[in-house]
């Protein structure tokens, strides 16, 4: 380093040697010194004249834009949608016409309640919003990972969100629903009961964005070229299969890696393991809608797949991370009213309210009406209109005409086009103007019960435990009991388990239902996570905990077998520099044991030498690693030398079939075992 590379105080300067790499001001002026402000004398006052420093700090001061009111914490990824089955008979939308057609997309996953910096594993609904840049304009499918919603009418949305977010006086709790305000509101809003069963299930703590479903939630319309309409519900089915974590694991992941979900998505895409979802449609007509037990405009209800099968018509592949988080993920502006010809809205009062809210909120967040000029929001098809000016306008009409009709002929700018222009489905509408809720929305418990009876025993236990945990965080008994009164209308077993969990001896009165629940709806396998798991370990992560002297052949065999399966493998050791294996090689570690707890892996292997195993047994993080993996029903492969650690953790007599002995020869068997993801038998 020459003297020229250091500033007066000895700090290193990195200097450009050509114009291309030269740092400039926002006005493009090259900057000579980015280390020091302009002063009157070396120890003198800083001068107001310093335009370089002032501009830099001014811009920094304005870096923040309002975070989203809900769904503030999110993660966006580029991709494309490919049509695998054309549906011109149902919709004239451009993207649905030709098999093989690829449409670029941008998808943002999110939690709902937490602020922008909150932890990923909050118990919460996940947003699943996709912008399709179609040739006939942008279509935004702004959905969630749960197919129903808490409320039926948009006018209640601010109340719902206020109740779940931090209380105005104390500004906590944030990013969680386990508190009085939330359950107070919910227990006074019976329409929300069905959604809370989903929210208390492991659906609300997904293992990864890659392993969850997505749903458009509302009933939409598909309209074909002849103007014929069908109703439709949209589904995203992950090709990776469904998977969630367990609650105790979620709590610990939030501490170990609050960025768990975004890191997972980033790493998978970075490594070329592109997640895929099939787009499915449930299509039905007025006859079905009239015969269906519930109102198809009620967003607190779903249509069981057994009643209307999901037809797969295309695949979404997420294949590129963003270049800049702010420019893309933060500035992307999803709007439910962004629809294209061939897709239309219905009268779902929640959807109608959303169609106002999203445009309104983008104007506030992004500062003006020209947010469609930002590249991530700009359509990738021709855009022509007479909208002009406003904050940060990038594209204004050219030429003299900025109105229509005009008599300037070809120079007169764009004209309407009835041939390809958007047409609303001409639904007949009449009625008395009134603030009412349709009586067909009055059933609040039947589908909640159907959801409950569709779950495996493991999942039912988790749901009851979810309610127990959350309601135990409510300090007011009346709220706990009021909620219990609703659960009694869902299912006796659920109510009994939660009552036991809360320590309630005398059951409260059941809530009075607005309409008597239907108690004989059949179970639906599609509603269970565990019945829809993957059949491989691909996309999952194995943690191999190695000690010094560990058998190199076993480690290599595990690495090879799991990589062949399409899984990720991480090495954990007592030191981040790595462990010296039996063959004398140094295997670098991805994590030091203290920072690589088993909760961030799907399965683990303990590959120790005799000496290494004895010394690690006394180490608290190693004990936690094993005892958590055991408690969370993970598959745990152990070398014989892991016995001292099992002993230290109190597990020596509890070794079960989910804890096989591992050596070079059995690595393949361990992969096979891990395909079922967890050894649930341990839990029961
Ligand atoms: Fe949203 N919702 N929402 N929502 N929502 C927003 O829009 C709103 C609802 C959903 O990654 C906001 O840009 C109202 C249902 C997702 O950028 C806001 C109502 C579903 C995202 C808004 C609902 C959703 C949002 C906040 C009741 C599932 C994140 C910032 C009528 C189908 C999109 C923003 C992203 C975001 C309003 C209900 C999904 C305030 C009024 C139901 C995935 O406009």
Look at the block and give the residue holding tokens 């222009």.
Answer: 421
The whole-number pLDDT of residue 638 equals 97
- C-alpha 134/C-alpha 105 separation (Å) is 9
Ligand 1, atom 27, lies closest to the CA of 154
Which residues does the chain have with pLDDT short of 70?
Answer: 1-4
Q: Which of 67, 69, 71, 72 has the most ligand 1 atoms within 8 A of CB, as the residue to mutate?
A: 71
**Cα of 159 from ligand 1 centre, angstroms:** 14
Contacts of residue 439, defined as CB under 8 A and 6 or more positions apart, other chains included, come to none
SS3 labels along 281-341? EEEECHHHHHHCCCCCCCCCCCCCCCCCCCEEEEEEEEEEECCCHHHHHHCCCCCCCCCCC
What CATH class is the domain 535-682?
A: alpha beta
**Cα of 496 from ligand 1 centre, angstroms:** 35
Q: Are 131 and 211 a contacting pair, CB within 8 Å?
A: no
* Torsion on CA atoms 490, 496, 501, 503, rounded to nearest 10: 120
- In ligand 1, the atom with minimum distance to the C-alpha of 127 is 43
Which residues pair with residue 281 across a beta bridge? 234, 311
**Cα of 129 from ligand 1 centre, angstroms:** 9
Q: Are 649 and 630 a contacting pair, CB within 8 Å?
A: yes
Among the listed residues 71, 78, 261, 491, the single catalytic one is 71
Q: Which of 69, 72, 354 has the most ligand 1 atoms within 8 A of CB, as the residue to mutate?
A: 354
- C-alpha 282/C-alpha 304 separation (Å) is 10
List phi, psi (to 5°) of 207: -65, -30
CATH of domain 47-161+201-373: 2.40.180.10
The whole-number pLDDT of residue 398 equals 84
- In ligand 1, the atom with minimum distance to the C-alpha of 216 is 32
The whole-number pLDDT of residue 2 equals 60
**Cα of 233 from ligand 1 centre, angstroms:** 17
**Up-side HSE of residue 617: CA atoms within 13 Å toward CB?**
21
**Cα of 336 from ligand 1 centre, angstroms:** 8
Contacts of residue 529, defined as CB under 8 A and 6 or more positions apart, other chains included, come to 201, 202, 203, 242, 243, 244, 459
Among the listed residues 78, 138, 144, 218, the single catalytic one is 144
Look at the block and give the residue holding tokens 């152990």.
Answer: 638
Q: Which of 141, 357, 377 has the most ligand 1 atoms within 8 A of CB, as the residue to mutate?
A: 357
The whole-number pLDDT of residue 395 equals 87
List phi, psi (to 5°) of 137: 105, 165
The whole-number pLDDT of residue 322 equals 98
- C-alpha 41/C-alpha 33 separation (Å) is 16
Ligand 1, atom 23, lies closest to the CA of 354
Which residues pair with residue 139 across a beta bridge? 132
- C-alpha 89/C-alpha 227 separation (Å) is 10
Q: Which of 106, 126, 142 has the most ligand 1 atoms within 8 A of CB, as the residue to mutate?
A: 142
Name the residue ranges covered by the structural domains of the chain: 47-161+201-373, 384-421, 535-682
**Cα of 70 from ligand 1 centre, angstroms:** 7
Ligand 1, atom 11, lies closest to the CA of 108
Ligand 1, atom 3, lies closest to the CA of 354
Tokens at residue 269, please?
Answer: 């895409």
**Cα of 351 from ligand 1 centre, angstroms:** 10
Find the angle CA(18)-CA(23)-CA(24) to the nearest 5 degrees.
Answer: 115
In a 10 Å sphere around its CB, with 0-12 CB exposed, 13-18 middle and 19+ buried, how is residue 42 labelled? exposed
- In ligand 1, the atom with minimum distance to the C-alpha of 299 is 42
Residue 225, CA distances (Å) to 44, 96, 145, 418, 422 in order = 75, 12, 31, 12, 11
Query: Coil, helix or strand for 472?
Result: helix
Is 144 one of the annotated active-site residues of the chain? yes
The whole-number pLDDT of residue 215 equals 98
Residues at CB less than 6 angstroms from ligand 1: 68-71, 74, 108, 110, 127, 129, 142-144, 149, 154, 157, 217, 299, 332, 334, 350, 353-354, 357-358, 361
The whole-number pLDDT of residue 3 equals 58
Contacts of residue 502, defined as CB under 8 A and 6 or more positions apart, other chains included, come to 468, 471, 472, 480, 484
- In ligand 1, the atom with minimum distance to the C-alpha of 149 is 42
* Torsion on CA atoms 345, 350, 354, 355, rounded to nearest 10: 30
| Whole-prediction pTM | 0.97
The whole-number pLDDT of residue 1 equals 56
């Amino acid at each position: 380093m020459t003297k020229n590379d250091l500033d007066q105080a000895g700090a290193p300067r990195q200097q450009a040697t050509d114009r291309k790499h030269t740092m400039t001001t926002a006005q493009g002026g090259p900057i000579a010194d980015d280390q020091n402000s302009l002063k009157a004398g070396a120890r003198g006052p800083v001068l107001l004249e310093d335009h370089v420093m002032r501009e830099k700090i001014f811009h920094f001061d304005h870096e923040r834009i309002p975070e989203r009111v809900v769904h503030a914490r999110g993660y966006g990824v580029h991709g494309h949608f490919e049509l695998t089955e054309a549906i011109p008979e149902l919709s004239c939308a451009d993207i649905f016409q030709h098999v093989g057609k690829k449409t670029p997309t941008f998808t943002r996953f999110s939690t709902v309640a937490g602020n922008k910096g909150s932890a990923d594993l909050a118990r919460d609904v996940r947003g699943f919003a996709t912008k399709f840049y179609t040739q006939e304009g942008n279509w935004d499918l702004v959905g969630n990972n749960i197919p129903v919603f808490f409320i039926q009418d948009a006018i209640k949305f601010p109340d719902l969100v206020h109740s779940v977010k931090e209380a105005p006086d104390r500004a906590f709790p944030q990013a969680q629903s386990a508190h009085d305000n939330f359950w107070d509101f919910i227990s006074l809003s019976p329409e929300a009961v069905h959604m809370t069963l989903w929210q208390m299930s492991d659906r609300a703590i997904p293992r990864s964005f890659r392993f969850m479903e997505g749903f458009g939630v509302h009933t939409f319309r598909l309209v074909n070229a002849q103007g014929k309409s069908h109703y439709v519900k949209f589904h995203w089915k992950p090709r990776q299969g469904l998977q969630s974590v367990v609650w105790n694991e979620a709590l610990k992941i939030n501490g170990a890696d609050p960025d768990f979900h975004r890191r997972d998505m980033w790493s998978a895409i970075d490594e070329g393991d592109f997640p895929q979802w099939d787009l499915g449609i449930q299509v039905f007509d007025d006859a079905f809608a009239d015969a269906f037990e519930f109102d198809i405009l009620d967003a607190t209800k779903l249509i069981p797949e057994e009643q209307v099968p999901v037809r797969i018509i295309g695949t979404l592949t997420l294949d590129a991370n963003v270049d800049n988080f702010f420019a893309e993920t933060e500035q992307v502006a999803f709007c439910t009213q962004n629809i294209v010809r061939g897709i239309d809205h219905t009268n779902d009062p929640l959807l109608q309210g959303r169609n106002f809210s999203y445009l309104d909120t983008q104007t506030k967040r992004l500062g003006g009406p020209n947010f469609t000029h930002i590249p991530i929001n700009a359509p990738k098809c021709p855009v022509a209109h007479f909208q002009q000016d406003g904050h940060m306008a990038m594209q204004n009409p050219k030429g003299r005409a900025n109105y229509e009709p005009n008599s300037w002929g070809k120079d007169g700018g764009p004209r309407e086009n009835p041939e390809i222009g958007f047409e609303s489905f001409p639904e007949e509408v009449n009625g008395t103007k009134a603030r009412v809720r349709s009586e067909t929305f009055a059933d609040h418990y039947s589908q909640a019960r159907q959801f409950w009876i569709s779950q495996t025993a493991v999942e039912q236990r988790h749901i009851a435990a979810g309610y127990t945990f959350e309601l135990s965080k409510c300090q007011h008994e009346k709220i706990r009991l009021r909620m219990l009164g609703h659960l009694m209308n869902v299912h006796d077993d659920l109510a009994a388990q939660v009552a036991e969990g809360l320590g309630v001896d005398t059951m409260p009165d059941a809530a009075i239902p607005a309409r008597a629940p239907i108690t004989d709806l059949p179970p639906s396998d599609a509603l269970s996570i565990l019945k829809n798991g993957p059949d491989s370990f691909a996309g999952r992560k194995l943690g191999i905990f190695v000690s010094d002297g560990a058998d190199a052949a076993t480690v290599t065999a595990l690495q090879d077998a799991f990589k062949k399966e399409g899984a990720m493998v991480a090495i954990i050791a007592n030191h981040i520099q790595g462990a010296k294996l039996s063959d004398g090689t140094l295997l670098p570690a991805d994590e030091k044991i203290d920072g690589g707890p088993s909760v961030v892996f799907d399965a683990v292997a303990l590959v120790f030498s005799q000496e290494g195993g004895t010394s690690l047994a006394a180490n608290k993080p190693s004990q936690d690693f094993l005892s958590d993996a055991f408690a969370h029903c993970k598959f745990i492969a152990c070398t014989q030398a892991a016995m001292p650690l099992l002993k230290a953790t109190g597990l020596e007599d509890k070794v079960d079939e989910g804890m096989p002995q591992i050596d070079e020869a059995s690595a393949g068997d361990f992969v096979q075992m891990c395909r079922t993801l967890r050894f649930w038998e341990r839990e029961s």
